[in-house]
Structure 1
Amino acid sequence: MPCYRCGARQTDPVRGASPWQRGVRNESQVLICPDCQRLHDLDLDACSTCASTALICRLGEVECRSCGAVWLARSSDALDRPAAVAPPPGLSAEVEAALNRVLGRA
């Protein structure tokens, strides 16, 4: 999944915690790259109880990691969600090359 702001894709992870951040925007889980995290206005959803943006979205629910509030995502039906963004050119070739490396294919 690319960064929702700039479209950058994650590279192979290094050991340790990922510098990428998760967030919820329009009640859908998004990733935020380290460069975009420096921006002050990420336009993320906030908890209506405590105003925290530390939210996670899973199985049609949004949960606040700060206060524990849980609510149903209005866009839990896949038909209500916007169409998926087309992958950047060359992504399928990169995925195929990565699979070949991992699976030891020539």
Structure 2
Amino acid sequence: MPCYRCGARQTDPVRGASPWKRGVRGETQVLICPDCQRARDLDLDACPSCGSTSLIRRLGEVECRSCGSVRQARPDEPNVASANPAKFTSAPGLPAEVAAALDRVLGRS
């Protein structure tokens, strides 16, 4: 999953905590790369109980990592996860990267 703001994709992680941040925007789980995290205008959904933007979405629920509040996700909410949806729908180069990774893992030349 690419960064919702700039489209950058994660590379193989090093051991330890990921520098990428998870969030919820428009009822959709999104990732934010380290560079975009410096921006103050991430436009993430906020917890209605405490105002935190440390939310995660899973199985139709949205949970606040700060206060533990859990609510049902709103299914009628429009999906606005990408800052520019048309820009990242085809993820340029992704098929070639996947093919190369499979070749490495499966020992193909």
TM-score > 0.5, shorter chain as reference: yes
Q: How does 1:50-69 map to 2 (within 5 A)?
A: 50-69=50-69
Identity over aligned pairs, percent? 73
Is the Cα–Cα contact under 8 Å of residues 22 and 29 in structure 2 kept in the other structure? yes
The equivalent of 1:71 in structure 2 is: 71
> In the alignment, is residue 5 of structure 1 matched against residue 5 of structure 2?
yes
The equivalent of 1:34 in structure 2 is: 34
TM-score normalised according to structure 1 size: 0.87
80-89 or 39-48, which deviates more: 80-89
Superposed CA deviations along residues 12-39 of structure 1, whole A, max 9, x for unmatched, are 2122211111011011100000000001
Q: Give the drift of 1:87.
A: 2.6
10-19 or 42-51, which deviates more: 10-19
45-54 or 5-14, which deviates more: 5-14
Is the Cα–Cα contact under 8 Å of residues 24 and 30 in structure 1 kept in the other structure? yes
| Runs of 4+ displaced beyond 2 Å | 80-85
TM-score normalised according to structure 2 size: 0.85
> In the alignment, is residue 98 of structure 1 matched against residue 97 of structure 2?
no
Question: More relative contact order in 1 or in 2 (CA 8 Å, sep 6+)?
Answer: 2
How far apart, in 2, do the equivalents of 1:76 and 1:97 lie?
A: 39
Is the Cα–Cα contact under 8 Å of residues 26 and 79 in structure 2 kept in the other structure? no
Q: Which runs of 5+ in 2 are unaligned?
A: none
The equivalent of 1:46 in structure 2 is: 46
Q: Secondary structure at the match of 2:105?
A: helix
